[in-house]
Amino acid sequence: MTSDTANATQFAPPAAETAPVHGADAVAGIAAVAGPAEARRNRLVIRLLLVAAFVVILNETIMGVAIPPLMRVFHASAAAAQWLTAAFLLTTAVVIPVTGFLLQRFNTRQVFLWAMSLFSFGTLIAALAPDLPLLIVARVTQALGTAIMMPLLMTTVMMLVPPESRGRTVGNISIVMSMAPAIGPTISGLILSYLNWRWMFLLVLPIAIAALLLGALRIPNVTTPQRVPLDGFSVLLSAFAFGGVVYGLSGIGISTPTGAVPSWLPLAAGVAFMGLFVLRQRALQRQERPLLDLRTFGSGNFSLSVLLMAVMMMVLFGVLILLPIYLQNVLGLSTLRTGLLLLPGGLLMGVLSPPVGRLYDRVGPAPLLIPGVLIVSVVLWAMTLLGTGTPVRYILAGHVVMSAGFALLFTPLFTLSLSSVRAALYSHGSAVLGSVQQVAGAAGVALFVALMSARMDSQRAGGALPLQALAGGIRAAFFCGAVLSLIAVALVLFVRRPKPAPAG
């Protein structure tokens, strides 16, 4: 991406593949945005990346409600079928830290074609898979492309879009990040109600191939790669660190068979390897060759934004896992009705994202983040009152209001965090954000499920009926989320608007 001529020797891609850049932009690896031709090119690149990102995120979210039907089709246990989700999550957690290197070492076109080729190939394997093990392999292949795509999108936006317009652009990205998860469960429910499960992948495949072909024909190179070294030991440490943490967190609160490895063991190992990974990166920073540059945390705004993002991702993923359980197992809604009930909130997040982005460009982060955190916190405290007879309309209203609060949070947080680091660290900042999202999401799911299970068992031991015990466990988990939201309320008061970057 951007380069440091004192520490890295740049090389240019072949002339036939390189988009024209001018003056200092060629040195820095940042596409010029002043001329109309460059502006049109930049818009084309971002739109293609948005289409690809929508496809990969949609694929990630359609699998959730498909686990029970696939267990029946393949005659598999719940523990075996859960690997369809766990393997995907583990792969993205392991690959995302390496994307900082990939985005510096290779140009935009190469990285895009690799990501979409891997994703399309994985989707094809999934559609044709005759058994569960091959379907898991297909999910891993899809995850390789997914893990690369989102950091590529965010880094490219930071390179091409001037600071005064980033909020609006990230708002458009947030449409994709909100709409795909919103419609994913609904689409999956419709497919599983009327079609074979393979159509979940057969419908995604032509869209993925179309995005790949369109990118191969139209996407230009907008960055200049660098000859940055790859530290193999760091890659190994990151795989054990992020993989161990996510795997360990994913197993908390889930009963394990006798003789199986307890979830705390990979979690402890992951934390230990994480410490070694951090020490290794700090040593490599002195040689200007870290795999994941932790100097991004030298910015107080970036550190604060990442911490806020982690807290809110824990809350979001915890709600996403427990709310369907409550709706289906306590209130008795079908899978399709559950997906339809959650659809308006997701659509609202998408609708609100562009105006929130424009507001960020005008007023900065604090006027958006503060009310957003307060809205989410109030709804979470209200969720601590859910019972076995709560009207569905109240759940719908609460989810819609909470979605509006999240819409006020994520676009400003993405923009604020990456705008707070220098351009040379954009790719590493994107990788840090992606890694934090994966770990925080897994932690949120683990924490909420563990609290729900512990409280439910406690109430069952005290003589409560199963339905009442489950509702009590869900209330306890939402109480934890409400307490976490108070931490976010305190943190958000210290957010500041990033200082403008120096001219040139």
What is the residue range of 439's domain? 296-504
Q: Is residue 3 part of a domain?
A: no
Give the pLDDT confidence score for residue 501 in this predicted structure.
52
Only one residue has tokens 């830290």, namely: 97
- Retrieve residue 2's tokens: 């951007």
Q: Where among 252, 272, 290 does a domain terminate?
A: 290
Q: Is residue 6 part of a domain?
A: no
Query: 79 and 161, same structural domain?
Result: yes
Q: Is residue 98 part of a domain?
A: yes
State how far the Cα of 126 lies from the Cα of 78, in Å rounded to an integer. Answer: 19
Q: Is residue 5 part of a domain?
A: no
Q: Is residue 279 part of a domain?
A: yes
Give the pLDDT confidence score for residue 209 in this predicted structure.
93
Give the pLDDT confidence score for residue 35 in this predicted structure.
64
Query: 314 and 285, same structural domain?
Result: no
Query: 320 and 256, same structural domain?
Result: no
| Identity at 114, one-letter amino acid code | W
| Residue 334, CA atoms < 13 Å, CB-side half-sphere | 9
Q: Is residue 305 part of a domain?
A: yes
Query: 238 and 216, same structural domain?
Result: no
Q: Is residue 373 part of a domain?
A: yes
Question: Which regions in the chain score pLDDT beneath 50?
Answer: 1-34, 502-504
Q: Where among 290, 311, 327 does a domain terminate?
A: 290
Q: Is residue 4 part of a domain?
A: no
* Mean confidence (pLDDT) of the chain: 80
Query: 253 and 140, same structural domain?
Result: no
Compute the Cα dihedral for 433, 439, 441, 443 and give only its sign.
negative
Only one residue has tokens 């100097």, namely: 295
Give the pLDDT confidence score for residue 7 in this predicted structure.
35
Query: 215 and 241, same structural domain?
Result: no
**Quick one: 220 exposed, middle or buried, by C-beta within 10 A (0-12, 13-18, 19+)?**
middle
Give the pLDDT confidence score for residue 498 in this predicted structure.
78
Give the pLDDT confidence score for residue 138 in this predicted structure.
93
pLDDT digits (tens, 9 = 90+) for 40-59: 777 788 888 888 888 887 87
CATH code of residue 410 = 1.20.1250.20
- Retrieve residue 288's tokens: 């200007």
Query: 472 and 394, same structural domain?
Result: yes
Query: 463 and 415, same structural domain?
Result: yes
Q: Where among 184, 202, 230 does a domain terminate?
A: 230
Query: 245 and 316, same structural domain?
Result: no
- Total domain count for the chain? 3
Query: 170 and 128, same structural domain?
Result: yes
Query: 260 and 140, same structural domain?
Result: no
Label residues 279-318 b or e (16+ Cβ within 10 Å = b).
ebbeebeeeebbbbbbbbeebebbebbbebbbbbbbbbbb
Query: 276 and 204, same structural domain?
Result: no
Give the pLDDT confidence score for residue 8 in this predicted structure.
34
The phi and psi torsions of 18 (rounded to 5 degrees) equal -95, 130
